[in-house]
Amino acid sequence: MGAASRCRESTAEALRRARRLTEGEVGGYNLSMKMSEFVQNERIVQEIQNNIETGRMPHAVIVEGAKGLGKETLVRIIANACVCRGNTKPCGECSDCRKFMSDCHPDVKYLDGNEPSGLSVDKIRGIRQDAYIKPNEADKKVYVLLGCEKMLPPAQNAFLKVLEEPPDNVVFLLTATSATALLETVRSRARVYSLTPVGIDEETEYLQKRFADKAYEEIRNAAENSMGNIGMAVELLENGGEEAVLLAEEIFAAIPARDEYKLLTLTYKMIKDRAFAMAVTDSLLQTAGDAVKASVGAQYRSQCAKDAAEKMSGKRLYGILQTLYKAKTVLKTNVNLNFFCTWLCATLRT
């Protein structure tokens, strides 16, 4: 391998490290988080903690769940615990923990399926060869494979070869939205943990501690809209609220013209995730209610509502309001977001 190639690889790794460290500060990850601080799925956390303390950690773990449930956070905590030399793992104080928190531990390697060729056959073959080399400093080597639902069958088959006869001092930690995206032969050689949303009250309590400067109503609304998905609620509170309001205004402004293409284009932006779709629907509901008030001469708050009231009858506005109440109910079920956006577009046009 030439010097230029090594330099490019070093630069790419440096960029990935910077991204992970930035996420550790503001994106929901906490590189110094301890197992007891993971606020959801207590049974799973307790089992993992027991396995770590008794030295019975499986050689391969798959953490599955929807975006925002903490898959990556949990595997990072496990990775930290696997290289920690303290009594309570991870201790956050030993030299191995400090290196892990600086994202420079030589025995923790990352592959990210969200990056180009992140989980390619060549990358998997690379870690398969590297796995048989003894750890540099810790007792174990840890390979963190993120977004494994994007790993293609050829790469999975290459990975299977090391899973069938894994070295004693290696742990593979995988995340996926659904473990069923992986071959059954891969799943059968790993312990699968399925993360689920937390209760709304528990989520609200956590969010109040994290966002002490925000009003209770805003926090509670984020918790209810995210339906127990803490990551989604955090995203809504940090940067999703304004985006949702702006999209809702665009959608509502497009309703009077009954332009199918424009409405479909706008509503499909809601497919980002369920929590965002719920936030947009909430904002649409507020605007629709405001427009109904404006249509009967009552006080209104937004110019968008006033403009809609001038272009549509009170009867149509009331029908839109009822549609949006139904949309909010539908979103709380496990409805397919593609189907939901298509249905919403068609219904708002009538």
Prediction pTM value: 0.70
322-329: average pLDDT: 92
**HSE-up (13 A, CA, CB side) for residue 33:** 21
Give the model confidence (pLDDT) of 201-256 as tens digits: 999 999 999 999 998 988 988 888 777 888 888 877 876 567 888 899 899 999 99
**Superfamily of domain covering 3-194:** P-loop containing nucleotide triphosphate hydrolases (3.40.50.300)
Distances 135 to 5, 229, 347 between C-alpha atoms, Å: 25, 36, 59
Supply the pLDDT for residue 32. 58
pLDDT at 33: 72
Of 176, 211, 216, residue with least CA distance to 194 = 176
Per-residue pLDDT band for 82 (boundaries 50, 70, 90) equals very high
* pLDDT, tens only, 253-311: 999 988 889 999 999 999 877 878 888 898 898 889 889 988 888 877 778 888 888 99
How sure is the predictor about 31, in pLDDT bands with cuts at 50, 70 and 90? low
Domain range list for the chain: 3-194, 200-349
The yes-or-no verdict on residue 9 having pLDDT over 70 is: no
Place of tokens 């955090």: 234
Whether 3-194 shares its CATH topology with 200-349 is answered no
Per-chain mean pLDDT for the chain: 86
Most confident of 37-41, 81-85, 86-90: 81-85
Own/partner pairs, 223-226, CB within 8 angstroms, 24+ separation: 224/200, 225/275, 225/278, 225/279, 225/282, 226/68, 226/197, 226/274, 226/275, 226/278
Q: Please check the confidence at residue 12 and state whether its pLDDT lies above 60.
A: no
Q: Is the pLDDT of residue 170 over 90?
A: yes
* Dist CA 17 CA 104 (whole Å): 8
In this structure, are residues 136 and 37 in contact, taking their beta carbons and an 8 Å threshold?
A: no
Tokens 């605007």 found at: 287
Position 154 confidence tier, pLDDT thresholds 50, 70, 90: very high
CATH of 200-349 among 3.30.160, 1.20.272, 1.10.10, 1.10.3210: 1.20.272
